Amino acid sequence: MSDVVTYRGAILPWHCDHMGHMNVMWYVGKFDEATWNLFAYIGLPPSYFRDEPFGIAGVQQNITYQHELMAGDVIEIRSHLVDARERRIQFIHTMRNAETDQIASTCDLTTVHFDRRVRKACPFPEAVRVAAERLILSNP
């Protein structure tokens, strides 16, 4: 398995702007939801961030917009890891129109694991690094 389904949903009328297509702020929000699902998949569930003094910070995000999405469209986001290092993980989300399979948008995101007490980057737990590396190795 190379890509992980990290989000499924529909474009609702209030996601659309005055031109009738989904506004960019909603792409960012849906990619953010996919990110949290990806983190849970590799061993960083919500409880980790609530119970431990660690966090994640996005340090670079590049979004491409390829095809419009309109109210009523059903979407799916699949994600794959590109790189996993001691303190950072890079991954790409691909948002597709579930009906047409057309790519609507992609998001390339780099995140850093940090200690919230001292506000500095720190290593991911070993189990997370292993899970991330395993997912990278499964990519074609």
CATH architecture of 4-137: Roll (3.10)
Percent share of the chain, pLDDT over 90 = 92
CA distance 67 to 99: 13
Name the token pair of 68: 């419009």
How would you classify residue 79: left for phi > 0, otherwise alpha for psi between -120 and 50, otherwise beta? beta
Name the token pair of 86: 């001691």
- Each residue of 117-136: pLDDT tens digit? 999 999 999 999 999 988 88
Question: How much is the pLDDT for 49?
Answer: 96
Question: How much is the pLDDT for 1?
Answer: 42
Q: Contact at 8 Å (CB) between 114 and 57?
A: yes
Q: Structure pTM?
A: 0.93
- Each residue of 15-28: pLDDT tens digit? 999 999 999 999 99
Question: How much is the pLDDT for 139?
Answer: 62
Question: Counting beta carbons within 10 angstroms of the beta carbon of residue 101, is it exposed (0 to 12), middle (13 to 18) or buried (19 or more)?
Answer: exposed
Q: Is the pLDDT of residue 12 over 50?
A: yes
